[in-house]
Amino acid sequence: MSDLFATLKENLKNNHKEVVFPESLDERILAAASRLAEDGYVTPVLIGDEEEIAKKAKALDIDVSKSKIVDPNQYDKFDEMVAAFVERRKGKVSEEDAKELLKKENNYFGTMLVYMNEAAGLVSGAVHSTADTVRPALQIIKTKPGVKRTSGVFIMVRGEEKYVFADCAINITPDEEGLAEIASESAKTAKLFGIDPRVAMLSFSTKGSAKSPETEKVVKALEMAKEANPNLVIDGEFQFDAAFVPSVAEKKAPDSVLKGDANVFIFPSLEAGNIGYKIAQRLGNFDAVGPILQGLNQPVNDLSRGCNVDDVYKLALITAAQSVSE
């Protein structure tokens, strides 16, 4: 695990970034912010009343003196932010409603800081739901050109082993276009972590061993992903063993570019992906780093409400590193 984050820190050494934390009164956020600021790779931006944050930090014996604190009620570019928000929402929000929302909802205010390039990315979700974290990002930051959806990946780590599992967090039943996009974005995420992507499109069938609308969807997704990424090492459809075990690959897919050495696994549904990563985590003793959101114009990432300080710290480093790779 340390090697994984050593790579990210190396990328950030000469690319110092500011990362927004809307949930600035949560003890885990304050502790992680202190650690991040002390390490010097990321400057935490805590959203809220400066006096209130300082009081909470003092009560917890946490030093936030090296963190940046931004109060929506005192922000000197607030009028500029309101105008940008109204314009971005294309008439769906009035100026008065925008003012109220940006002062009341730290996730919206923080996301606007990222949108206005006042910060590199945002980390939330320790207190808020995934929907409350992702909704402002989809409304304001939006997805990259040519990408229609965001998706969530986990980096699965055990010793020297590193794999990417997707989508395990967002899209319930992606169509073939969605699966192709997820494959493309997951390959980019893999590179961020020093993984040379070898992508397997997973199914319950290997190379036509079964035929159904579900398997055909994966086959079509593979074709679309190949067309969009001609230099990407990718193949399917595969059962997991055919993608991962060389001896099985030799029997089931001897002509494949993958020889049982895939390291990026694209699941056909959220149901499969979520179950798959949890089995690897609980039975295989893999550390699951994520979910990491991908496909957005600027990075926003969602914590679990059961997260600990280390989770917050790591996701902030990932968020900053994503902004470097854009």
2-142+297-325: CATH architecture: 3-Layer(aba) Sandwich (3.40)
pLDDT at 2 over 70: no
Q: Percentage of the chain surpassing pLDDT 90?
A: 79
Element (H, E) at 294: strand 287-294
Provide the 3-class DSSP secondary structure of residue 19: strand
Each residue's pLDDT tens digit, 259-282: 999 999 999 999 999 999 999 999
Return the residue matching tokens 């899209």: 171
Distance between start and end Cα atoms, the chain: 24
Each residue's pLDDT tens digit, 133-191: 989 999 999 999 888 999 999 999 998 899 999 999 899 999 999 999 999 999 999 99
Cis peptide before 167 (omega within 30 of 0): yes
Beta strands in the chain (DSSP E): 17-21, 42-47, 68-70, 121-124, 151-158, 161-166, 198-202, 233-238, 264-266, 287-294, 300-302
- CA distances 23 to 30, 63, 158, Å, are 9, 16, 31
Name the pTM for this structure: 0.85
Give DSSP secondary structure letters for 139-191: III-BPTT----EEEEEEEETTEEEEEESSSS-SS--HHHHHHHHHHHHHHHH
pLDDT at 326 over 80: no
Question: Domains of the chain: which residue ranges?
Answer: 2-142+297-325, 151-287
Max Cα-Cα span within the chain: 66
Element (H, E) at 46: strand 42-47
Predicted pLDDT at 6: 79
Query: Do 2-142+297-325 and 151-287 share a fold?
Result: yes
Whether 71 contacts 49, CB under 8 Å: yes
Each residue's pLDDT tens digit, 66-89: 999 999 999 999 999 999 999 999
CATH for the stretch 151-287 = 3.40.50.10750
Average model confidence (pLDDT) across the chain: 92
Predicted pLDDT at 289: 84
* Beta strand 121-124 pairing with 198-202: unpaired
